[in-house]
Amino acid sequence: MTIELVIFWVLAIVAVGTSLAMIAGKRPVHCAVIFLGTLGSLAGLFLLLIAQFVAILQVIIYAGAILVLFLFVIMLLHAHSGEGPGEKIRFQRPLALALSLALLVGMSLVFWQSGFGEAPPAPPEGMGTAEAVGNALFERFILPFEVASVLLLAGILGAVVLSKKERG
């Protein structure tokens, strides 16, 4: 076992454990805090995959903005469990478990058979830095980048319209 592999396993176990705890959590606040752990371990995995810039983006945007927004709304709503007693759809939990297990088996089969088993080649110089991401983003992906800005604008407008109080 190399150090890299040990780190991978630790992060992977943390990621799976926290995400399981997240979907099983009772109170949304706890779920959000536990999800913070998932995001952190994913950032660590990104570092292992030589994607430093993406890892930091992940922390700044996901942990620093998106999840804070979640917490903000949770506190605003004061929602404790938010789930009424009794299930309206019969066998919801077992069915959900069966379906997601089926999905997992399917995906794992594809991933194992696709032959990505061997170790990847050595990364090129300067991979994953802000410079590399920036060059790719503003040269090869300039059109999607502009479209993304339109999407963000749409998001802002949507939020403003939705949170505006009805007049009259």
Partner 1 sequence: MTIPISYYLVLSGVLFAIGTLGVLARRNALIVFMSIELMLNAVNLAFVSFARLWADMAGQVMVFFVLVVAAAEVVVGLAIIVNIFRTKETVDLDDIDLLRG
Partner 2 sequence: METPPLWAVLVLHALKGLVILVALLTAFAYMTWLERRLVSRFQVRIGPNRVGPFGLLQPAADGIKLFFKEDFMPAGADRVLYLLAPAISMITAFVAFSVVPFGPPDIKLFGVPLFQMANPNAGILFILAVSSIGVYGIILGGWASNSKYPLLGALRSSAQLISYELGVGLAIVSVILWAGTLELPKIVEQQTGTWFGFFPRWNIFILPVGPVAFLLLLLGATAEINRAPFDLPEAEHELTAGYQTEYGGMRFAAFYAAEYVNMITASALSVALFLGGWDGPFVEQVPLLGVLWFLVKVFAFVFFFIWVRATLPRVRYDQLMDLGWKLLLPLALLNLAVTSVMVLLWRELGGG
Could you list the residues that contact partner 2 (CB under 8 A)?
A: 29-30, 33, 36, 52-53, 56, 59-60, 63-65, 68-69, 71-72, 75-76, 129-130
97 interacts with, out of partner 2, partner 1, none, CB within 5 to 8 A per kind:
partner 1
Q: Which is nearer to partner 2, 12 or 65 (CB)?
A: 65
**In whole angstroms, how close is the CB of 141 to partner 1 at the nearest point?**
5
> 62 and 39 in contact (C-beta within 8 Å)?
yes
Q: Which is nearer to partner 2, 110 or 160 (CB)?
A: 160
Distances, alpha carbon 25 to alpha carbons 50, 67, 166, in Å = 32, 16, 35
For residues 61 and 84, give the distance between their C-alpha atoms in angstroms, rounded to a whole number: 32
Q: Which is nearer to partner 2, 8 or 50 (CB)?
A: 50
**In whole angstroms, how close is the CB of 40 to partner 1 at the nearest point?**
11
> 9 and 33 in contact (C-beta within 8 Å)?
no
Q: Which is nearer to partner 2, 19 or 37 (CB)?
A: 37
Torsion angle, alpha carbons of 111, 100, 44, 115, to 10: 0
**In whole angstroms, how close is the CB of 71 to partner 2 at the nearest point?**
5
DSSP assignment of 150-168: HHHHHHHHHHHHHHSPPP-
38 interacts with, out of partner 2, partner 1, none, CB within 5 to 8 A per kind:
partner 1
